[in-house]
Amino acid sequence: MEVKILGIGMTKFGELWSKSLVDLAEEAAVKAVKDAHLQLAALDAIFVGNMLSGVVTGQEHLGALIAERLNLKIPAMRIEGACASGAMAVYQGIQGIASGRFKRVLIIGVEKMTDLSSAEVNQALMGASAEDEEGVNGLTFASLYALMAKAYMEKYGLKEKDLAAVAVKNHYHASLNPLAQFPFKVTLKQVLESPMIADPLKVLDCSPITDGAAALVLSRRQLTVDGGQIPVSIIGNSLVSDTLSLSARKDLIEQVATKKAVAEALKMAGIKLEEIDLAEVHDCFTIAEIISLESLGFFKKGTAAKATARGETRLDGSLPVNTSGGLKACGHPVGATGVKQIIELVLQLRGQAGKRQVKKAKIGLAQNLGGSGSTAVVHILKRENHA
């Protein structure tokens, strides 16, 4: 069944020291409900995507916490799937609607990460991977993805400058997005000369530590509200898991979960991959965007980096990718990211993306990953009655 996106709202992404997690959640929620031309009281349930609140602030039980702030006494659940928590919350919210239980649900992805030191957050993030195997042996997320980058570079002769092209493109997109954490361009030279984090990944190959929230109002039917938004629907989705530990994979540079998820989502949507006009993919590191684009099937293996360098995935290219700026430059508040990806697609499909508007965008795809590809969630969105 199709689910309608009635409203969207997000905070600025960045280092937001003056706002608490619940402040951010409220801000995004209120914006989304306003965008939907509704009142908070019209909501039936809340699904919160969040990974790290327990570790960062000692606060669990975010469903009830956020419901209290919104003055709602309705079912409220927290959903966690590491960096895929946001898209997982959307996936659960859609099930709640499809089950007949709820008519309208609020999805909130939220993360407050800058209250810890960078080292502490990096350790906490290893909770997304096999902590007792990878974490305790000193691996960080940058080094997990560096292993993938090394394997990819060796197999396909990729150079560091090919990876850097992803960062340059996503920073260019972010420069057109006022809510992005890093709304400025970088050059290939800047990326290549930035400090090494985990060979071959440099700091400008990595997504940042970010605070932020993003919210959606989903509905079973489109409401005929005067002045309501241009209708956008979720026409297909899928969530698939793969091994948590990288060592248990047969192939480091193929995302098995992504491959399966996109096939299922396309089947549900009843469309072909070629019909997708633009995509938001999980570029937690530059190499992640390359592998994601190939695992999704947009490019043949070994070719996505070169296509990126040629501009094919830029705003004006044949398949614009991460027009929001991606995790790389829009920022990566982990629980919010999957929801923000969907918001970017909605803006594009409605024609409300301002300076970064993709022309004639009708169908978009979002891919959100948890861990090193251990959870993959794909959503496909379509603008209705394309006028």
Binding footprint of a second copy on the chain (CB under 8 A): 20, 51-55, 57-65, 67-68, 72-82, 88, 91-92, 94-101, 123-124, 126-132, 135, 238-245, 248, 256-257, 260, 370-371, 374-375
Contact 6, 104 (CB under 8 A): yes
CB of 248 to a second copy, least distance (A): 7
**Least Å from the CB of residue 98 to a second copy:** 4
Nearest approach, Cβ of residue 261 and a second copy (Å): 9
Kindly state the smallest distance separating residue 147's Cβ from a second copy, in Å: 18
**Token pair for 25:** 């959640």
Which strands sit side by side in the sheet containing 45-49, from one edge to the other? 45-49, 104-111, 212-219, 3-10, 232-241, 375-383, 363-370, 278-280
Known catalytic residue at 330: no
> Which residue from 97, 99, 101, 109 is spatially nearest to 3, judged by alpha carbons?
97
Nearer Cβ to a second copy (167/369): 369
Cβ nearer to a second copy, comparing 77 with 188: 77
Residue 10 identity (one-letter amino acid)? M
Q: How far is the CB of 240 from a second copy (least distance, A)?
A: 6
Q: Dig out the tokens for 270 from the structure.
A: 């009843």
CB of 115 to a second copy, least distance (A): 12
- State which residue, 243 or 303, has the beta carbon closest to a second copy: 243
Q: Which is nearer to a second copy, 68 or 199 (CB)?
A: 68
Tokens linked to 80: 């966690």
Catalytic residue among 37, 83, 330, 379: 83
Question: For residues 187, 190, 196 and 199, what is the CA-based torsion angle, rounded to 10 degrees?
Answer: 40
What does the alpha-carbon distance between residue 199 and residue 16 come to, in Å, rounded to a whole number?
30
Nearest to a second copy of 130, 186 (CB atom): 130
Alpha-helix runs per DSSP H in 157-284: 160-174, 188-193, 256-269
Task: Give 196's strand partners.
Answer: 202
Tokens matching residue 320 = 């614009």
Query: What span, in angstroms and rounded, lies between the C-alpha atoms of 52 and 237?
Result: 25
Q: 171, 173, 282, 332: which one is catalytic?
A: 332
Pick the closest to residue 142 from 87, 188, 79, 195 (CA basis): 195
Report the amino acid identity of residue 106: L
Cα–Cα distance, 278 to 273 (Å, whole number)? 11
177 CB neighbour count, 10 Å cutoff: 22
Contact, 339 vs 160, CB < 8 A?
A: no
Is-catalytic flag, 282? no
Angstrom distance (rounded) from CA 382 to CA 384: 6
Q: Which C-beta is closer to a second copy: that of 127 or that of 228? A: 127
Whole-number minimum distance, CB 24 to a second copy, in Å? 14
Distances (CA, A) of 15 to 82, 125, 195, 375: 20, 17, 21, 27
- By beta-carbon proximity to a second copy, the closer residue of 1 and 196 is 1
Active site residue ranges: 83, 332
